[in-house]
Amino acid sequence: MNEELHPPLLGYTDRLSARPGEQVQVKVSSTLEGEFEASLVRIISADPNPAGIGVVVEKIESDFAGSYPARAQEFTPGSCMHAALAEGMTLPTEFSVSAKIWPTRVASGAQAVLSIGSSAAGTAFVLGLDEAGKPRVMARMTDGSWVEALLPGVVRERQWAWLWASFSQPSGELSVGYGGSDGHHNEYIRFDGTASLTAEKMDSILVAASDPGERRMHFNGKVEAPTIYAVPLGLNQILDGSEIDAAPLFARWDFSEEISSTRVRDTSDNEIDGTLINFPTRAMTGSMWDGSEMCWRHAPQHYGAIHFHEDDIYDFEWETDFSVAVPEGLRSGIYGIRLQQGEHNDTIPLFICPPKGKRTARLCILVSTFTYTVYGNHARGDYGDDWADKTKAWHAYPWNPAEYPQYGRSTYNFHSDRSGICHASYRRPLFNLRPGYLTFGWSTCSGLKHFQADSHLTSWLENQGYDFDVVTDKELDEEGVGLLAGYSAVTTGAHPEYHTARTLDALEGYRDQGGRFAYLGGNGFYWRVAVHPENDAIIEIRRAEGGIRAWAAEPGESYNAFDGQYGGLWRQNGRPPQRLAGVGFSAQGDFFGSYYRRTPASYDKRVSWIFDGIDDEVIGNFGFSGGGAAGFELDRYDRDLGSPADAVVVASSEKHDASFVLVPEERLTHVTNKPGVPDAELIRADMTYFDTPSGGAVFSTGSITFCGSLPFNNFDNNVSTLLANVFNRFLQE
Ligand SMILES: [Fe+2]
């Protein structure tokens, strides 16, 4: 792992998409001396496979092109709460601190549950766990020495316990206490001297970290109800709840309020409200949760916990190096901000939409930026040596998220405490959102997903001479069906997996208003996500019941914090993908593609035009993704899940290898599945077509590898012919 190392030249933009007239802030970090060059490019192909056209970018004139001074920019992983004391407010000379904790990574270094300090003078007081996981309180004296009280036992992981400490300058006592399932313990020491807490100006309180300046000693786990009482409390008073209830408060932070925000309310009269840094997870079950409520909106008092992680990092908040004013008249498309310094370069994709309210082509591509973001910096478990060889040989993108965990991983990974990562953001360098990045290094095919795999479609459109506009999930979420209305056809790429209710509403609305919709992927419209109300770059995913899951939401934690809605599969939210696209996720295997075979029903004249100019029965037994057009993630037609009765399955895939299995939500027992037929019958991609009553139409491929076949044989093949037939029909007036 390169924990200390950084790729020499990296950047990100404050937005993934923009319209002419809008500004894009570009943030760059370079560990090299001198200046870097910036320029604008159009990205034609992002697949570095030498068997195809390779990575193709086209330089575009731009006002911002030029040199900029190189500088390294920092970032500090780890989430916490910060609360500032108002000017003139001082800590009492005697006080107690308490919090409930649910630690998740004990004995991984010293951890602070609550600390007090100042950005000028540093930390003066830390209640937390020592390196071994023993409860400990430390206070700094004015001579710089530290005094500490330590309990002998190690706290238990993933169990609620009560942690407290008491400080008194007048009596020179410092005590630490712990109450868990193994009883209550208390320890105190006497100190002789003056503590910095009372002698120096303290202005910052941190929960789950220490040192307001650089932030260290991050706590891993849940914290509930951190409180500062304005009196010293001992074990007996703590055990006698009535005395605690009557104790005067200095501050008490209630994490069950304003759960969808980064604000934390202090419920004491002092109003020392806190701010959350690096987006820890809210709407987490607290010590009061008893299973009687599953939704935090119905019993917020059960959800008074925040889960902090030492590796939470989403928005890097780097300074802007230069901004890009998107020129009026810049054609909609897929562009990149190219940074170059010496032998190093980084190309940050930028999706340029048409001017608001305008269409500049008949075809619109919906770019799956929610899915790109959710997969951002996905460190794959199978990352290994073969990646490096292939990357070198193909001059592919050199950096892999598996090598740089400190840049923050994806929602397909775990935090260091083994809890699932449920937040994602593009306001940081995303190694896997770059032209030439390889998702599967071991594969003999191109081994691409997401942005790079979608360029199989866009390079084909360029090659075939189709004009197209580009919009992204963000605009669709914000603007709804109006964004798509008027386009003759709208198409997805290979993997439009993550959606909000608003993006699904917009797509259904477009279809039902007579739009022609092409879904050229697999495992689409699958998970429900939410966008943070304060920062639209941050997306939340709760991996609730069912689905191919990288991790599982804990019991009681299936509702999104960001919007209060039930997370997980759209299928479990009453909107199976079959209802929109006619097909939905059914089976997954290794990254291998098979082929489709035409069905007898495809010869009906309602749909036979799809195969005009194609004599083959077998479609797509070739390709840059898995070696075949039907592979990896397969969707099929299912009436029970909402596929329209009059939809025609025009081709189905076959001959999938033994790695392909049914998705979990299709299984019932170890031997039975929901439809009650042999599993093998359900392991297939259904290429499906239907007309809608309003004159619209839907074409779905049901396979994530479909687009990988388009550029094969220099774009001359039966998948290419087939898609041209569909688009040519869809784009007719
Ligand atoms: Fe996926």
The residue ranking higher by pLDDT, 465 or 238, is: 465
* 345, β-bridge pairs: 340
Q: Which two tokens stand for residue 683?
A: 């392991």
Residue 29 CA to residue 27 CA, distance in Å, equals 7
Strand partners, 83: 205, 274
Interval between CA 523 and ligand 1 midpoint (Å): 6
Beta sheet of 527-528, edge-to-edge order: 498-499, 527-528, 568-569
- Residue 374 CA to ligand 1 center (angstroms) comes to 9
CA of 529 relative to ligand 1 center, distance in Å: 13
What are the E-state strand segments in 294-419?
Answer: 305-308, 322-325, 333-341, 344-352, 363-367
Confidence of residue 4 (pLDDT cuts 50, 70, 90): low
Calculate mean pLDDT across residues 307-320: 97
- Please state, rounded to an integer, the average pLDDT across all residues of the chain: 96
Distance 580 CA to ligand 1 centre (A): 18
Is-contact 699 726, C-beta < 8 A? yes
Residue 463 C-alpha to ligand 1 middle, in angstroms? 27
* Chain Cα centroid distance, residue 147: 42
Q: Ligand 1 centroid vs 439 CA: distance in angstroms? A: 12
Dist. CA 456 → ligand 1 center (Å): 17
Distance from the CA of 667 to the center of ligand 1, in angstroms?
Answer: 19
User: Cα of 365 to ligand 1 centre, how many Å?
Assistant: 19
Backbone conformation region of residue 726, classed left if phi is above 0, alpha if psi is from -120 to 50, else beta: alpha
Across the chain, how many H-helices and E-strands are there? 11, 42
What's the pLDDT tens digit per position in 89-144?
999 999 999 999 999 999 999 999 999 999 888 999 999 999 999 999 999 999 99
- How many whole angstroms from 506 Cα to the centroid of ligand 1? 21
| Residue 39 Cα to ligand 1 middle (Å) | 32
517 membership: H or E segment, kind and range: strand 516-519
Answer yes or no: is pLDDT of 256 > 90.
yes
Taking the centre of ligand 1 as the mean of its atom positions, its distance from the CA of residue 630, in whole angstroms, is 15
Q: Could you tell me the distance, in angstroms and rounded to a whole number, from the CA of residue 457 to the centre of ligand 1? A: 18
In the reported structure, the alpha carbon of residue 363 is separated from the centroid of ligand 1 by a whole-number distance in angstroms of 25
- Distance of CA 527 from the midpoint of ligand 1 (Å): 9
pLDDT above 70 covers a percentage of the chain that reads 99
Structure pTM?
Answer: 0.97
Q: How far is the CA of 76 from the centre of ligand 1 (A)?
A: 29
What does the pLDDT average to over 199-206? 95
Instruction: Note whether 87 and 163 are within 8 A (CB).
Output: no
What tokens appear for 141 in the block? Answer: 């004296």
Gap from CA of 499 to ligand 1 centroid (Å): 12
Ligand 1 centroid to Cα of residue 364, in Å, is 22
pLDDT of 260 reads 98
For residue 1, pLDDT beyond 80: no
Average confidence (pLDDT) over 551-555: 97
| CA of residue 731 to ligand 1 center, whole Å | 29
Q: What is the pLDDT of residue 5?
A: 82
Say how many Å lie between the CA of residue 524 and the centre of ligand 1.
8
Looking at the chain, the whole-number percentage of residues with pLDDT higher than 90 is 94
* Whole-number pLDDT of residue 172: 96
pLDDT at 581: 98
What's the CA-to-centroid distance between 593 and ligand 1, angstroms?
A: 16
- Whole-number Å distance, alpha carbon 372 to ligand 1 midpoint, is 10
Kindly report the backbone phi and psi dihedral angles of residue 258, in degrees, each rounded to the nearest multiple of 5, phi listed first.
50, 50
Beta-carbon contacts of residue 337 (< 8 Å; ≥ 6 apart): 11, 13, 24, 26, 38, 39, 40, 324, 347, 348, 350
Task: Find, among 254, 262, 252, 206, the residue nearest to 230 by Cα.
Answer: 252
Distance 559 CA to ligand 1 centre (A): 21
CA of 500 to the centre of ligand 1 (A): 15
CA distance 611 to 721: 8
**Separation of CA 458 and ligand 1 centre (Å):** 20
511 three-state secondary structure: helix
Q: Calculate how far, in angstroms, residue 21's C-alpha sits from the geometric centre of ligand 1.
A: 33
SS3 13: strand
How far does residue 586's CA lie from ligand 1's centre (Å)?
A: 13
pLDDT tens, residue by residue, 682-714: 999 999 999 999 999 999 999 999 999 999 999
Q: Please tell me the distance between residue 497's alpha carbon and the centre of ligand 1 in angstroms.
A: 6
CA-CA distances (angstroms) from residue 75 to 72, 294, 429, 464, 559? 10, 36, 11, 44, 30
Mean pLDDT, rounded, for 293-307: 98
The enclosing H or E element of 721 equals helix 718-730
pLDDT for res 710: 98
Q: Report CA(507)–ligand 1 centroid distance (Å).
A: 19
Under a CB-based contact definition with an 8 Å cutoff, are residues 536 and 474 in contact?
yes
What does each C-alpha distance from 233 to 188, 243, 248 come to in angstroms?
A: 12, 9, 11
CA pair distance 110, 148, nearest whole angstrom: 13
Q: How confident is the model at residue 3 (pLDDT cuts 50, 70, 90)?
A: low
- Residue 189 carries which side chain, given as an amino acid letter? I
Residue ranges with strand state E in 104-237: 111-118, 122-129, 135-140, 146-150, 161-168, 173-180, 183-190, 204-207, 221-229
